[in-house]
Amino acid sequence: MLIDEWDLADEARRIGTRPRTIGELFAVERPSLKPLPVETFETGRWFTPRVDRFSQITVRTNRYSVPTRFIGRQVRVLLHASELVVFDGRTEIAQHERLLTKSGSRLELDHYLEALLRKPGALPGATVLEQARAAGKFTPIHEAWWTAVCNAHGDTAGTRALIEVLLLHRHMQHDHVVAGLAAALQVGALTADAAALEARRIADNDEPTSAKPRRRATTEADRAVAATVTSLTQRRLAQLPKDTRPMPDVSIYDQLLPSRRAAVAAAGRAPAPRPTQKPSRKKPPP
């Protein structure tokens, strides 16, 4: 914007003793100029580092984090003057603000959540957690809820519950998750599901009324239109001829039932007579 204002102000300037201004001379040269290219000119510089075992890449002596699922893979990095974008093929996987120092690190807590979910004991004292606190992404509300849930369920289970809550930031706004944690902490709901429920409730209440679907008003005209609409199924059934066939009888299939088969077998044959026991003949003693 500022450069455009300077250009407009410079059009009235004259170079030396020339009779025409800069704007008039440019108007004469404009028809001879070629049109601007359709594609934008990329001013960044490309790098192809490999992700190390700490899920980090090194660009210009600085280290930046990427999601842990890309460990060991070679990625493409586009370095701009103020930001850095990481691609896996053509898919953007990370974006960081460029570090202006040397041998620095910029880590994103969200990139390590899957690994921390398997090893929750690595979260306290981690560098990525300290950077999240400094950036304001890990608020005192997170700290208070984490402390309370650890006191209630133990350090391992409490830290794992906190990581499950941090995963909500991927598809919910940061303010809604923090407000949900505060509401859950106030009522003593020290589970990840309860915090997620409170966050979704706050997000639903925070939606503007214009974004919510409006119910269709039922008027007399709507009822009249609905009354004139005929169902296609009812119309087809009305055109079918009347069925005069008798209802089918399925009682014969009762013979397949186990209890019916046993009753039929018992009625079809008489009980066999019990054999008489012949007296045993004892051999005389020798």
Q: What is the maximum alpha-carbon separation in the chain?
A: 162
Among 134, 158, 164, 128, which Cα is nearest to 145's? 158
pTM (2 d.p.): 0.62
Q: Do residues 106 and 96 lie in contact, with contact meaning Cβ atoms separated by under 8 Å?
A: yes
CA 45, chain centre distance (Å): 31
**Gyration radius of the chain's alpha carbons:** 40
Cα separation, 161 vs 192, in Å, equals 5
Cβ of 94: how many Cβ atoms within 10 Å?
21
For the chain, 286 residues long, give each residue's pLDDT as a single digit of tens.
678 888 888 888 998 888 899 999 999 999 999 988 888 888 899 999 999 999 999 999 999 999 999 999 999 999 999 999 999 999 999 999 999 999 999 999 999 999 999 999 999 999 999 999 999 999 999 999 999 999 999 999 999 999 999 999 999 999 999 999 999 999 898 999 999 999 999 999 886 644 555 545 455 555 554 555 555 566 666 777 777 888 888 888 888 887 766 666 666 655 555 555 555 555 555 5
